Amino acid sequence: MAKAQRANRMWRNMNAKIAAVPMILTTLVVFVGGTAWTVLYSFTDSKLLPRERWVGFDQYERLWSNSRWLTSIENLMVYGVLSLIFTISIGFLLAVAMDQKIRFEDSFRTIMLYPFALSFIVTGLVWQWILNPEFGIQSIVRGLGWESFTFNPLNNPDLVLYGLLIAGLWQGTGFVMCLMLAGLRGIDEDIWKAARVDGIPTWKTYLLIILPMMRPVFITTLVIVAAGIIKLYDLVVAQTSGGPGTASQVPAMYVYDYMFQAQNLGQGFAASSMMLLSVLIVLIPWAYLEFGGKKHG
Amino acid sequence: MADLTATYSRSDAEPRGAKPKRALSGRNIMIYGTLLVFSVYYLLPLWVMVMTSLKGMPEIRMGNIFAPPVEITFEPWVKAWSQACTGLNCDGLSRGFWNSVTILIPSVILSIAVASVNGYALTFWKFKGSDIFFTILIFGAFIPYQVMLYPIVILLREMGLYGSLWGLVLVHTIFGMPILTLLFRNYFSTIPEELFKAARVDGAGFWAIYAKILMPMSLPIFVVAIILQVTGIWNDFLFGVVYTKPDLYPMTVQLNNIVNSVQGVKEYNVNMAATLLTGLVPLFIYFISGKLFVRGIAAGAVKG
């Protein structure tokens, strides 16, 4: 392609370059420039407006000694690990079930995936209602005669993350199931035939042959789900507003509150830079495996 | 390039798996049992939403949230649409709905126009450095929005667009760009290059090839992009809160303000009607689009 245009490349490619201006501006100004700007200004004591008074790592020290931030990080870790384990294992389990030449596959898929079309706000509000202690699951089980039954996660600081998890899994597992099912369907039929000829039971084939072969699908899913978890915000706002107390605070909420409510931009910048760092910790090893490995073979 | 979506449907048609056995084998009970249990989990909230929204408040206080209404009433829907209060005003969710519509239409059109041209340029008109920009773009999809929130506030303020409809449209265009560009690039790269070369020989230029050859050939992928953007933008909350003023708040933001407002008596039936109303647009898109929706969301998992 390049050869055909080499003659007077500058002139001929002009339209393509003009057409690429929005992309170039977005990548350079917003993605690279914006990110660098935020990281840079996290070293200032900006309050209501950004200002260039450099204070070194002060904002970060303040951040890591703020109990609300520490709670946010802890919550994110607990929620993140549980959410990853459950979305991926449930997603895989459902995909395997769907892959057994079942009837009504399309109906089951439609049912599993529709929550993914809904916003986190809708998800959070519905589950807030179902988990409502006065009317929801708790009151119904009590109404059945089990008077001492307690299931009130949204008002219990120790359980609130599980309340969020139930809603998060409801919204996201269908999506993971679809990715996994696509992975399963992409596996060569000959492998199944070979396993059958060798008399390996189906469950063993899944565990010992298919699972290792699906590694790329698992890694991609892991990265997508993990990147989504770090951004977790809307669901918490809708379902618990970060409460009870600060029990379900998450980093994205901390950032928003400091940037747009508390008028302490420096703190917000430092917190968001930490969020960026955590994404990089997930992303860089993945990118290295995914793209670095390709060049060698 | 392992296109997950292409392989997704391929083996549907081929016979596979063991020979069909008796319908009620232990294996089948386990498979269908698992799927049914999970289906209950997935369907339950929708059921509860619909049932609650059709009951009157007295019935809700007395009864069971899973039970169907004894007396069906559409009052909560009317109230959610036209009278629910957000603390600022009491003209219901209709305001948020129309705000979302006015945000949605230009955002979908602009973001898809820009991203499809990007994908086209990246496939057929590579220039020096184009792959670098593409890589940054894909990485950009993973950067937490929080890092870019404030710099964009400054940019929009400089342009005089902060708080306006067009500011938000621009934000949706920017953040929709990575995934949509990937989607279009991957689709365009399956189009035979000979076609492009033939058009070049016939003297067609950049825009002529895009509009007369590529676009008409690529309608399915445009539909996928529309599905992706309509649901994504409709469901957005963060950008709506940050980049618009209260009178322009999209439906999701207004819904949250209505339901989580601390003033007044909680009307759960109105809240659920409002929640359901907000979910109707993406649900409608989802149910009419079927497998195309799956294709859209799987695009994010396609390795470029």
Among positive and negative, which fits the CA dihedral B87, B88, B94, B96?
A: negative
CATH 1.10.3720.10 given to domain B94-251+276-301? yes
Q: How much of chain A is in helix, strand and coil states, percent to nearest 5?
A: 75, 0, 25
Rounded-to-integer distance, Cα A6 and Cα A1, Å: 9
Same structural domain, A216 and A256:
yes
- Segment B11-40 mean pLDDT: 75
B31 vs A100, A143, A231: nearest CB: A100
CATH number at residue A63: 1.10.3720.10
pLDDT at residue B300, rounded to an integer: 57
Residue B294 half-sphere exposure toward CB, CA atoms < 13 A: 23
- Are both A27 and A111 inside the same structural domain? no
Instruction: Verify that A216 and A269 share a domain, yes or no.
Output: yes
Interface touch A22/B118, C-beta < 8 Å? yes
List pLDDT tens digits, range A246-289: 999 999 999 999 999 998 999 999 999 999 998 898 888 887 87
- Terminus-to-terminus CA distance in chain B, angstroms? 6
Residue A90: closest CA among B35, B294, B301: B35
What chain A residue is nearest to B283 in terms of C-alpha separation?
A: A117
- ipTM of this complex prediction, to 2 decimal places: 0.88
More confident residue, B121 or A13: B121
Residues 6+ apart with CB under 8 A from A175: A91, A113, A116, B297
Residue A159 and residue A37 in one domain: no
> B227-241 pLDDT, tens per residue?
989 999 999 999 999
Inform me whether the pLDDT recorded for B152 exceeds 90.
yes
Q: Look at the alpha carbons of A165, A166, A167, A172 in this order and tell me if their dihedral is positive or negative.
A: positive
A52 domain-assigned: no
Average pLDDT, rounded, for chain B: 87
State yes or no: cis peptide before A244, omega within 30 of 0. yes
What mean pLDDT comes out for the span A63-76? 95
Going by C-alpha positions, the residue among B93, B73, B71 that lies closest to residue B84 is: B93
**Domain segments of chain B: what residues?**
12-73, 94-251+276-301
- The 10s digit of each residue's pLDDT in A176-204 is 999 999 889 888 889 888 998 998 888 88
Instruction: Tell me, yes or no, whether A33 and A126 share the same domain.
Output: no
- By C-alpha distance, the chain B residue nearest A142 is B64
* Token pair in block for residue A218: 């698992």
Shortest Cα distance, chain B CAs vs residue A48, angstroms: 12
CB A26 within 8 A of CB B174: yes
Q: Which of A82, A81, A88 is nearest to A222 (CA)?
A: A88
User: Minimal Cα–Cα distance from B270 to chain A, Å?
Assistant: 12
Residue in chain A closest to B11 (alpha carbons) equals A185
Same domain membership, residue A5 and residue A125: no
Closest CA to B103 of B225, B279, B219, B229: B229
Report chain A's mean pLDDT, rounded to a whole number. 89
Distance CA A44, CA A269 (A): 9
Structure tokens given for B270:
């109105």
Three-state secondary-structure class, residue A284: helix
The answer as to whether A189 is a domain residue is: yes
Domain that holds residue A2: 1-41
Q: Residue range A238-247: average pLDDT? A: 91
